[in-house]
Amino acid sequence: MGGAWERLLPRLTEIRDLSCALALLSWDQHVMMPARGAPARARTMATIESLLHERVAAPEVGELLSELEQTPPEDEARVASVTVLRRDHERAIKVPEDLVRAIAEHQSRCFQSWTEARAASDFDLLRADLERMISLKKQEADAIGHEGERYDALLDGFEPQMTTAEVETLFGDLVRGLKPLADAILDHAPERPAFLSDHYEVDRQEAFCQWLIETAGFDVSSGRLDRSPHPFTMHIGAGDVRQTTRYDPTDLLMSIRATMHETGHALYEQGLPEDLYDLPVGRIRSLGLHESQSRMWEIQVGLSRPFADFMLPHLKDRFPAQLGNLSPDEFYAGINHPRRSMIRVISDEVTYNLHIALRFELELALFRDELEVADLRDAFGDGMERHVGIRPESDAQGVLQDMHWAIGGLGYFPTYTLGTLYAAAFYARALEDLGDVSHDLRRGDVGRLLEWLRTNIHSTGSKAPGKEIAQRVLGTGLTVDPFLEHLRTKYGELYGPLA
């Protein structure tokens, strides 16, 4: 009959296969599926989601885990897998299958409503479906249970063992330090360079981005880059990591930043050890760590002076009329030009996390029953004015700009800022270990940095929660200091003293 581990393995494989099928259907929904396919896709994905929930919650899984906990495997990855699967199993058995199916079906419906509402810039077209989504996610949080508050249950799904109280403390420290610093930087910023809004043929942008992902180390034989309205990366299966970006003919920088960002995610997925693939620790559980990789490649690498110097000649070859006379100094200052932006995904590194602070604040208010969905439009506008200093002129610019709430991603937004903070700290630590990498980046050589990330972060998989992995790499807990120092140094060099 075999030991408990041997009996568990086929179940792990089946769980992984169902997850891969769900990922592929989701990728197709966002990239290629015709709009009229949404209702049928919702049913199909809900069926697979229910099957997956059933497999994870199966009593036989709990029995096998109990056997393995009494006599733990000797292999570290197996021990960690038992811990991770126990956590998944306990969460799964607490959530009724009919609720799992209801959420899965409503995700597709609500996403379609968001798509139509955003196109029409009319929040009222989404309101009823969003109210139901919030209600369903509250039911899910209450079913899972929590020691602190309801939001903890959802946050833990994206950032295991991180609590709302911890995130509130970090965000409080960040906003207190960032708002005056952002104001000082924005006060010193010159006029926005004209080249940022010039016309850049989309096909040439796409060709550049295809070249860029390979330069950054992405293995195109094990992945691909496509277009989607909202850039994302998805691990479909072994040897199949897919990323998307988007292009705007009047915004070259957006496509470069989005592509570097998603490549950071994709490199992390491609860096997971093959021998962990079918194990519970073979998936990345900490979205904060995941976001640290995307933000690092987007900001610390992609917007750095040496990498900007590397990119410029290649961009000039493709866009000689727009960039041919641009100096390296002008290009570097231009791609790092800060401004108050309505839209989170195109905001600069100075103001980006103020956008996230607002979303975290609104999510907490919703789940503390301090805010109704009906009041979300005005609350979003008030918060933008308070945090970023501008007020949305339309629903599309404001409350409808992100798809996360429509697909049930409540508790997700904080991981963007956690990732930003991790990225700054990891990069500073990498420089301590590697020395100056500017000569490498000026040649487009990311090999040493990527190997450092592979060794210290990627190869770990999910053998420990994200904050434990970070503690081991950094030797200290997460703080806002490395990120704020990064901004002070970078923009102090660009604009002079920021007092």
Least Cα distance to 292 among 82, 79, 445, 460 occurs for 460
Least Cα distance to 163 among 1, 4, 9, 288 occurs for 288
**Which tokens go with 73?**
């495997």
Would you call 67 a catalytic residue per the annotation? no
**Which tokens go with 200?**
């850049």
Amino acid at 423: A
Distance (Å, whole) CA 20 – CA 257:
27
Bridge partners of residue 240, in order along the sequence: 237
Least Cα distance to 10 among 321, 1, 234 occurs for 1
Distance (Å, whole) CA 244 – CA 473:
30
DSSP string, 145-198: --SS-HHHHHHHHHSTT--HHHHHHHHHHHHHHHHHHHHHHHHH--PPPGGGGS
DSSP single-letter state for residue 243: E
Q: How far is CA 263 from CA 115, 211, 224, 236, in A?
A: 25, 12, 10, 15
Amino acid at 193: P
In the set 49, 105, 159, 262, the catalytic residue is 262
Bridge-based pairing of strands 233-237 and 223-227 is unpaired
Per-residue burial over 315-336, b = 16 or more CB atoms within 10 Å of its CB, e = otherwise: bbebbeebbeebeeeebbbbbb
**Which tokens go with 467?**
């904050």
Catalytic residues: 262
